[in-house]
Amino acid sequence: MGLVIQDSLLEVILVAAGLVILTAHHFHNAYKYWARKGVPTIKPKFPLGNTNTLLPQGFSVGPVSKTFYDELKREGHKFGGVYLVTTPNLVVVDPDYVRDILSKDFQYFADRGFYHNKKTDPLIANLFVIDSDDWKNLRVKLTSTFTSGKMKTMFHSVVECANYMKEAMVKSIGQDIDMKETVGRYTTDVIGTCAFGIECNSFKHPDAEFRAMGRELFTFNFRRAIKSFIAINFPKLAMQLSLRISVEKVGNFFRKVVTDTVKLRQEENIHRNDFLQLLINLQESTNFTHDEMTAQVISFFIAGFETSATTMNFGLYELARNPDIQKKLREEICQVLDKHDNKLTYESLSEMKYLAQVLDETLRMYPPLPTLNRRCTKDYTLRDTNVVLEKGTRVLISALGLQMDPEFYPNPKKFDPDRFSEESKKMRHPFVYLPFGDGPRNCIGLRFGQMQSKIGIATIIKNFRLSVSASSKPLEFMPSSFLLQPKQTIYLKAEKV
């Protein structure tokens, strides 16, 4: 039985100190791994290898992989080796190899390789992190949540949440608006109603528990960052220590939400077409446990509220910076709605082609998950080489690197939705656009995320003319964040159209 780490700061510091000693001990041999295989390598530095992130905010390397991608690409390499502390990782640069790993040879790379411990920390064992057969079985069961039919049943509820956001923005005309907080309240309300059938009212009650839990999930103190460091760089040690990385307060909250909602539905014989109902059905027909249900609920909440809020925040920022594009989008929205009695419906949204291009271009420049992680599940030889990736080797694919590569996207820092016209898309390699991943393990909720983002953007742009506030500073990314996040708050100003 492993030693369970309590939330004692002292214990975490002791573990961190032990890791430094462990790292020093293995330093010389560890950093020769890729050279022995004849793989081009970015020179590591003791003690962190190729990363400069001692206190990560999440369980992946975030945008750091773009620096690996750019250096290897500059040297003309199709792939190369790096070290996260002492752990060797292969960085894939060439899009043909990306296709091999994500799709063509997926059976060798079905796992993401994130640390999780189902026994001691069951609330972290969600669809995003679990491996192999566990993932495959659960993916099949959850896929029915995101059919076109389910999207249509949720559509009206999402539009209602967007209208609450519109009403709140009317009251902020002329003031600096923290767009991330605004769209974060909107997406929190959306997930509350579409996942749980609960009206959160985040605009009326900004400190409501759902919104508070959303903030808690993405608050990384020293203790939590150290745990993340161990989980990323020493997963075997983390398993031996039975390291708990879920947030206790968040776990307790969602356990109670699931318990209370399931009890109410069973007692009142309530049946809704939402995510929780699918999990209730699974529990009734399989050995799905309460903690497994709660783990999926937390995962759905994180993916549904945070990634879409981040995408909308960046998208609205670019529209504010590019008034001509904003005007063109507004004209399309109004023209389409004129044909549909001025109602935003599932059908009218699907006719807004330029809106789809604006969202695609936003996701190109600002992919919420900037790094895709995979782990080799059995020995694999890279095509047209003698390089054998041993079972357990970790692979990094920089979505941000590919999507900001001038070879594929000329003048990549320019916001240009025309890149995603049907003609332009046909001319590009299909694996240089990866905001939702690709292959069998792509994002299961991508259509839901796109739908709520489009509804939110369309509602705002139809009703408000946006500009960047003088309070906003030049955009920079947080280097240590798991999801792509700006360092500073983005402030916009809105005036009624």
The bridge status of strand 491-496 relative to strand 177-178 is antiparallel
**Rounded to an integer, what distance in angstroms lies between the CA atom of residue 213 and that of residue 302?**
10
Q: Which amino acid is at 49?
A: G
End-to-end CA distance of the chain: 63
Q: Is 200 annotated as belonging to a binding site?
A: no
For the chain, the farthest-separated pair of C-alpha atoms sits apart, in whole angstroms, at 70
Q: Is 376 in contact with 391 (CB distance < 8 Å)? A: yes
Q: Is 190 in contact with 304 (CB distance < 8 Å)? A: yes
**Rounded to an integer, what distance in angstroms lies between the CA atom of residue 272 and that of residue 199?**
14
| Residues in binding site | 443
| Residues in binding site for heme | 443
